[in-house]
């Protein structure tokens, strides 16, 4: 049995490591392909180092570009490699362009296609990630769902029960494995912060950072909260330039992008987190840290119903009011039962079982 695991962007790396570990612990031959969608050390290399991911067996080095350019380069680079490797299974993770591009190539080439994080839905077609999720699920043979709501989404879309497995959340595996190491790092001391005495901000979605008016409104709201509690914002250089143009209060502290462990240390010990990231919604749920999501929707509603997440949109007054309420009252700390740190093990067992069972029926007759 040979399994090709694909990763391309920073959110993928935390997800692919538990899958590799689960397979390698069962002596399954694995091949790691890095598409190079995130290609510099700050966005890629440091995560490999800190998570203990081995060097990729193949690096496609596709780099940046428009969605069409990047997706096309990934597909044309991955196709001949797949023909050479002849795997039994191709595993894709998450919802970035690499996920969709490699899933399409693999579906046409013949191996089993397994999607980790299948079934997540925001129902917001303005999000490129939503298109990637839906397309990837549609061409996949094995839908590895992180939570019961994702399973429900897949059933509602007509996928067969024999295609779906509830395996849990691989990001939680990485978080629980690395949490003690992260907390031991000196990043709080270096930044002059006290545990629970600061907030953390992450913004990266184009809808929030590329539109000047939207970004200005969010910064205005965050500045109000920053007068109550200092806020640390690890920020991409492109977004930082926009923030410098807009101006912001002294309570909002901009820092360079952080590695996985330093970011996890800040996240775990924050009083509150503002984000538009799906992964941060999940991580704060596991950590029991209040999270305000600066979006109108989320593909991870379980972080609201069973977690610490509050969906606040982009309205200034609501953001400020919810932040002050959360800082005053806190939020219930709970997490889904399947987020137990063993998702990678369950995925490995599921893939081994599927290969042993022989070729599946292709998903050609969905009731969609």
- pLDDT computed for residue 40 by the predictor: 61
Angle between helices 10-25 and 343-357 (to 10 degrees): 60
Residues with pLDDT less than 50, the chain: 367-368
If you search the block for the tokens 């690499």, which residue do you land on?
Answer: 98
Give the integer Cα–Cα distance in Å for 308 and 284: 7
pLDDT digits (tens, 9 = 90+) for 213-235: 899 999 999 999 999 999 999 99
First to last CA, the chain: 33
> What are the sequence ranges of the domains in the chain?
2-169+339-357, 181-329
Of 356, 345, 362, the residue nearest 142 (C-alpha): 362
Give the integer Cα–Cα distance in Å for 73 and 35: 9
pLDDT digits (tens, 9 = 90+) for 174-197: 999 999 999 999 999 999 999 999
- pLDDT computed for residue 368 by the predictor: 47
Residue 262 DSSP SS3: helix
Q: Would 2-169+339-357 and 181-329 be classified into the same CATH topology? A: yes
> What homologous superfamily does CATH list for 181-329?
Glycogen Phosphorylase B; (3.40.50.2000)
Give the integer Cα–Cα distance in Å for 178 and 261: 7
Q: Kindly report the pTM of this predicted structure.
A: 0.92
* Domain covering 2-169+339-357 assigned CATH 3.40.50.720 in the classification: no
Give the integer Cα–Cα distance in Å for 25 and 191: 39
* Sheet of strand 29-34: strand arrangement: 58-59, 29-34, 2-7, 89-93, 112-116, 142-145, 164-166
Residue 250 DSSP SS3: coil
Q: Which residues pair with 59 in a beta bridge?
A: 34
- pLDDT computed for residue 362 by the predictor: 63
Give the integer Cα–Cα distance in Å for 177 and 318: 35
- pLDDT computed for residue 241 by the predictor: 81
Q: Which residues are catalytic?
A: 204
Angle between helices 10-25 and 170-183 (to 10 degrees): 100
């Amino acid at each position: 049995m040979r399994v090709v695991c694909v990763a391309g962007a920073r959110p993928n790396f935390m997800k692919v490591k538990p899958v590799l570990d689960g397979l390698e612990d069962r002596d399954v031959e694995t091949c790691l392909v890095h598409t190079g969608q995130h290609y510099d050390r700050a966005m890629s290399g440091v995560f490999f180092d800190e998570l203990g991911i081995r060097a990729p067996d193949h690096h496609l080095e596709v780099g940046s570009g428009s969605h069409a350019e990047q997706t096309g380069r990934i597909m044309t680079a991955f196709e001949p490699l797949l023909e050479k490797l002849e795997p039994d299974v191709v595993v894709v993770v998450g919802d970035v362009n690499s996920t969709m591009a490699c899933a399409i190539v693999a579906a046409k080439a013949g191996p089993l296609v397994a999607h980790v994080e299948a079934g997540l839905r925001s129902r917001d077609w303005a999000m490129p990630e939503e298109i990637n999720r839906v397309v990837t699920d549609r061409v996949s043979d094995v839908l590895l769902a992180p939570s019961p709501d994702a399973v429900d989404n897949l059933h509602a879309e007509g996928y067969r029960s024999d295609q779906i497995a509830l395996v849990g959340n691989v990001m939680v595996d990485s978080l629980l494995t690395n949490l003690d190491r992260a907390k031991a790092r000196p990043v709080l001391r270096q930044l002059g912060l006290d545990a629970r005495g600061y907030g953390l901000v992450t913004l990266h979605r184009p809808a929030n950072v590329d539109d000047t008016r939207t970004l200005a409104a969010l910064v205005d709201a965050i500045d109000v909260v920053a007068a109550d509690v200092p806020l640390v914002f690890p920020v991409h250089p492109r977004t930082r330039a926009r923030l410098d143009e807009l101006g912001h209060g002294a309570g909002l502290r901009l820092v360079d992008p952080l590695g996985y462990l330093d970011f996890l240390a800040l996240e775990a010990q924050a009083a509150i987190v503002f984000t538009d990231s799906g992964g941060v919604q999940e991580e704060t749920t596991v950590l029991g840290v209040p999270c305000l999501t600066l979006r109108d929707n989320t593909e991870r509603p379980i972080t609201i119903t069973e977690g610490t997440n509050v969906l606040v949109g982009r309205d200034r007054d609501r953001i400020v009011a919810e932040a002050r309420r959360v800082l005053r009252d806190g939020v219930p700390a709970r997490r889904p039962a399947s987020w137990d740190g063993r998702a990678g093990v369950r995925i490995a067992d599921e893939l081994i079982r599927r290969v042993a069972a022989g070729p599946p029926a292709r998903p050609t007759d969905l009731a969609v």
